[in-house]
Structure 1
Amino acid sequence: MKLGFHTGYWSSGPPAGVEEAIAEAERLGFDSIWAAEAYGSDCLTPLAWWGAKTETVRLGTNILQLSARTPTATAMAALTLDHLSGGRFVLGLGASGPQVVEGWYGQPYPKPLARTREYVEIVRKVIARERVEFSGQFYQLPYQGGAGLGKPLKSTVHPLRTDIPIYLAAEGPKNVALAAEIADGWLPLFFSPRGNDFYKTALQNGFDKPGARRSWDTFEVPAFLPVIVNDDVEQAADWVRPMLGLYIGGMGAKGANFHFDVFARLGYEAECARIQELYLGGHKAEAIAAVPTRMVEDISLIGPLAKIKDELAAWKESVVTTLLVNADAKTLRTLTEIVA
């Protein structure tokens, strides 16, 4: 099992201590570092800035939101960062949710799977330096209408690699299957070893599709994993509860919150409903407090070091191939030792 360092979302500004943690992650032999975006900082600029001070780690977006850029603009960024990093770039893509897509980017959200399929196909054409012509439901190149002067083009830049890895973020079974069918990896946000069989089936459904790109032997699953080493389990859980309260309670409307659904499938539907009710009602502190410790333990490694070592075994036996952690340098060192 490999390790990756996730720089996380920015809050009001850049995360403190991230450059030191990245340097330590590379020194420890981590496989990769990753940057995220929502509706604040973007994920490409920090990756280029921080990645310029590294030499060996792969540089991944987790995730670059489809609605933020046209497929060709995303492909241009991928080509550029792959050249600048010497072939270390990984393009992690995700559809996000309707509140961000329509509220922030002003783009339609319906049919995200079909839209993702078209998006990835166009990105691959650009990276392969093909002349891009595409007539899909969501994307047309050249554009049909307007001045009527558009013509098929191909990148002026020759790719360093004509097949840059593309990973898809997904939570529902159809989305996960799509990742296995058309991508090189799957990026789960909230993974629990208890749900391993569910995701294993979804991935197999994708691998079984005609023309699937990968198989179990060559497919990557880098999963985000909070790790909090603390002799007091409840105190450790308190570091993770705010994130779960936000995602379950506020990152999506009622009936359209995919993070809610992940935990409901794990048996927490009643708890999720309570968290969402409190959060959407403006009672954020109560919503966070309503996140049960066992829910935190399902998707995290928290508590004394011995407990973390024991629970790590279930992650090693799952479909996950890389643990993406966001922690200080000391915790990175500790985790490297116990994973080894």
Structure 2
Amino acid sequence: MKLGLSLGYWGARPPQGVDELVTAAADMGYESIWTSEAYGSDALTPLTWQGARNPGLRLGTAVLQMSARTPTATAMAALTLDHLTGGKFALGIGASGPQVVEGWYGQPYPRPLARTREYVAILRQALARADVEFDGEHYQVPLQGGAGLGKPLHATIRPLRTDLPILLAAEGPKNVALAAEIADGWIPLFYAPDDDATYRARLAEGFARRAADDARRVEDFEVACPVQVVLDDDVEAAADTLRPMIALYVGGMGAKGANFHNEAIARLGFEAECAAIQEAYLAGRRQEAIAAVPTKMVDKIALVGPKARIAERFAQWESSLVTTLLVAGAPKALQALAQVA
């Protein structure tokens, strides 16, 4: 298992100490850095900034939101970064949720799996420098109508790699299977290593649907999984650090009945707990929602506690299908995990 550094996205302002954190992680043996986006900082700018300062590291997006860019705009960014990194870029994309897609990007959300399938098909054409031509339900390239002057174009830049890896962020069972079918990797968000067999079954379903002439090897499929690591002799104190974040995602990242993070954690055996967290959060009782996050839930999806306990739990992650662990944590936590690994 490889270790990557997860930088996520910014909060209310640019975080402090990131340059030093990335340098320290590289010295500890972390081989990649990954950024993401919601509706504030974008993923590409900080990633490029850090990549220029740390040229030996692999760069990845976890994730670029599909509604933020047309497929060809995403392909342009990927082609550019792949050249700048000497072939060390991994493109992670995701559909996000209806509140962000429609509320921030002003794009329609329905049928995200169908949109994802079309998006990846166009990406593959553009990354291979083919004439991009696609007539789908959600995307048409060239545009039908308009000035009537559009024609199929191919990228002016020659790709460094026509097989640049595309990873799909997915939480729902159908979307996880789709990642195995059409992508080169999967980025889970809330992953529980003791449910490894369930995830393997979903991926196997997608692998079985690959086209007969698909030359991609299942053995090369990457699972790049973010995980929060909190080093503290007091397990409850360590869990307290993560409860607000989990409460936000379970309770506030989506409307009731349309929160995929809530559903993903509920499937891990926390249906009642997720319902209680969401009810309190949406009612404005955020402290109650935070307090309703049980330590067992935190422990299921994160690595918390003293170093010996983290080492014991890490053994499950190491034997899971995860190939790259995207670690988020303070420098001491990063160091402890590097030593354990």
Shorter-chain TM-score category? over 0.9
Deviations 1:124-152 (A, max 9, x none): 11111111111111111110011111111
**Residue in structure 2 matched with residue 281 of structure 1 by the alignment:** 283
The one-letter code sitting in structure 2 at the alignment partner of 1:79 is L
Deviations 1:5-49 (A, max 9, x none): 001221111222111111122222212100010000000011011
The one-letter code sitting in structure 2 at the alignment partner of 1:219 is F
Contact 1:6 1:326 survives alignment (8 Å): yes
Within 1, Cα distance between the matches of 2:219 and 2:122? 26
Within 2, Cα distance between the matches of 1:269 and 1:115? 29
Range with bigger deviation, 65-74 or 151-160:
151-160
Contact 1:63 1:93 survives alignment (8 Å): yes
Aligned residue runs from structure 1 range 17-56, under 5 A? 17-56=17-56
**Residue in structure 1 matched with residue 305 of structure 2 by the alignment:** 303
Percent of matched pairs sharing the same residue: 63
**Residue in structure 1 matched with residue 173 of structure 2 by the alignment:** 173
**Residue in structure 1 matched with residue 236 of structure 2 by the alignment:** 234
Contact 1:184 1:213 survives alignment (8 Å): no
**Residue in structure 1 matched with residue 89 of structure 2 by the alignment:** 89
1:158 to 2:183 alignment = no
Contact 2:230 2:330 survives alignment (8 Å): no
RMSD: 1.1
Contact 1:181 1:214 survives alignment (8 Å): no
How far 1:215 moved relative to its partner? 4.6
**Residue in structure 2 matched with residue 136 of structure 1 by the alignment:** 136
Contact 1:9 1:36 survives alignment (8 Å): yes
Alpha-carbon distance change, 65 to 232 in structure 1, aligned in 2, over 3 angstroms: same
Contact 1:180 1:214 survives alignment (8 Å): no
SS in 1 for 2:53: coil
Within 2, Cα distance between the matches of 1:289 and 1:165? 40
Contact 2:66 2:95 survives alignment (8 Å): yes
**Residue in structure 2 matched with residue 13 of structure 1 by the alignment:** 13
1:221 to 2:223 alignment = yes
**Residue in structure 2 matched with residue 123 of structure 1 by the alignment:** 123
Contact 1:23 1:54 survives alignment (8 Å): yes
SS in 2 for 1:81: helix
Contact 1:25 1:332 survives alignment (8 Å): yes
Q: Which runs of 5+ in 2 are unaligned?
A: none
The one-letter code sitting in structure 1 at the alignment partner of 2:41 is S
SS in 2 for 1:207: helix
Q: Which runs of 5+ in 1 are unaligned?
A: none
**Residue in structure 1 matched with residue 3 of structure 2 by the alignment:** 3
Normalising by structure 2, we get a TM-score of 0.97
Contact 1:5 1:324 survives alignment (8 Å): yes
SS in 2 for 1:217: helix
Range with bigger deviation, 29-38 or 324-333:
324-333
Contact 1:207 1:214 survives alignment (8 Å): no
1:272 to 2:279 alignment = no
How far 1:328 moved relative to its partner? 2.6
The one-letter code sitting in structure 1 at the alignment partner of 2:243 is R
1:245 to 2:219 alignment = no
**Residue in structure 1 matched with residue 182 of structure 2 by the alignment:** 182
The one-letter code sitting in structure 2 at the alignment partner of 1:205 is E
Deviations 1:239-262 (A, max 9, x none): 110111000000011111111111
Aligned length: 339
How far 1:279 moved relative to its partner? 0.4
Q: Which runs of 4+ in 1 moved over 4 A?
A: 212-216
Aligned residue runs from structure 1 range 325-340, under 5 A? 325-339=327-341
The one-letter code sitting in structure 2 at the alignment partner of 1:82 is D
Contact 1:142 1:150 survives alignment (8 Å): yes
Deviations 1:79-124 (A, max 9, x none): 1111111111110000000010000000001111111011011111
Alpha-carbon distance change, 314 to 213 in structure 1, aligned in 2, over 3 angstroms: farther
Range with bigger deviation, 191-200 or 229-238:
191-200
Within 1, Cα distance between the matches of 2:93 and 2:72? 13
